[in-house]
Structure 1
Amino acid sequence: MNDTLQITAAFIGVGALGLGLVSLCIMLTLAFSRVSKIEERISRPGTSALEHRKIWGNDPLGRLMRSGYVFTFLVLRSVPSSRLNRSAAKIGDVSTQLPLRMTLWAVVPPLLLYGCFAVLLIVGLLL
C-alpha cells in the first residue's frame, strides 16, 4: 500500500476516534436526560427497563449501559418483525408514543458511536 493511502487512512481513523469520543461524551451527558425520560415512559410492571435502572445506577458505565438498552429497545420496536417486537415488549411498552426529538437523542449518538467504531476497525485492517 502506498504512503498516501496509509496517511489518509490514519487521518480517517483519528477523525473517527475523535468523533466517537465526542459522541460518547454527548451520550453520557446531554442525551442521558432524554434516555432517562424514555425509560420512565416505556417502563411498566413486568418489563426489565426499571430493573436495569436499579442494577446499573447512574455512574458513567451505568449511563452507557442504560443508553445502549434504550437504543436496543427503540431499534427492536421499529423493525417490522413480530419476533423482534416480542423481544422489545420484554424491555418496555412498545405501544408508547415518543416524541421524535426525544427518540433522536436516544438513537443518533449510539449510532454515531457504533459507526465510528466500525470505521476504526476497517482502518485498523488497512494499516
Structure 2
Amino acid sequence: MSSELAMFIGIGGFGISSLSILVLLTISFPKLRQIEDLIAGPERSIMTIRAVWGEGPYGRLNRSCHIVLFLLLRHIPLRHFQRTAANIGNPDAKMPVSLHLWAIVPPTGMFIGFITACIANQFLNPA
C-alpha cells in the first residue's frame, strides 16, 4: 500500500470518527435521553451517571458510552453481565429498534473510524 493511499484512508477514518462524534453529541443525544428515561429506576446508576457527568460534551460522550454498554451487556446471557446491566438500568425495559439504532450506530462509526485511522497510520512510511 502506498503512503499516499494510507494517508487518504487515515484522513477518511478520522473524518468518519469526527462526524460520528458530532452526530452523537448533537442529533442522537435526545434519543439517548429517552433511553435513559426508559431504563431509569430508583436503584439504577444511570440516574447517578446523568447527575454526575451533566450535559456538557464530555458528559454526553460518557453517558452515551454507558448506554451502549448497558445495551450490549443486557443481551449477553451470562449472569455476571446481566447483573452489571441491572446495576446500570432496567434490563427488562422494552425499547423500539429505532432507539437501539440511535444508540449503537454513532458510537460504532466513531470506533470504526478511529480503528481505520490507526491501521492506516501503520502503513505510512516514517518521514
Using the size of structure 2 for normalisation, the TM-score is 0.93
Structure 1 unaligned blocks of 5 or more: none
Matches for 1:61-72 after TM superposition, within 5 Å: 61-72=58-69
Conservation of the 8 A alpha-carbon contact between 2:20 and 2:109 = yes
Higher relative contact order (CA 8 A, sep 6+): 2
Match of 1:88 in 2: 85
Cα distance in 2 for residues equivalent to 1:38 and 1:49: 10
Please state if 1:24 is matched with 2:21.
Answer: yes
Aligned sequence identity (%): 35
Q: CA deviation at 1:5?
A: 1.8
Q: Deviations over 1:47-73 (max 9, x none)?
A: 100000000010111111111110111
Cα distance in 1 for residues equivalent to 2:54 and 2:11: 32
Q: Give every structure 1 segment of 4 or more consecutive aligned residues whose post-TM-superposition deviation is greater than 6 Å.
A: none
1:34 pairs, out of 31, 34, 37, with 31
Structure 2 unaligned blocks of 5 or more: none
Q: CA deviation at 1:81?
A: 2.1
Match of 2:46 in 1: 49
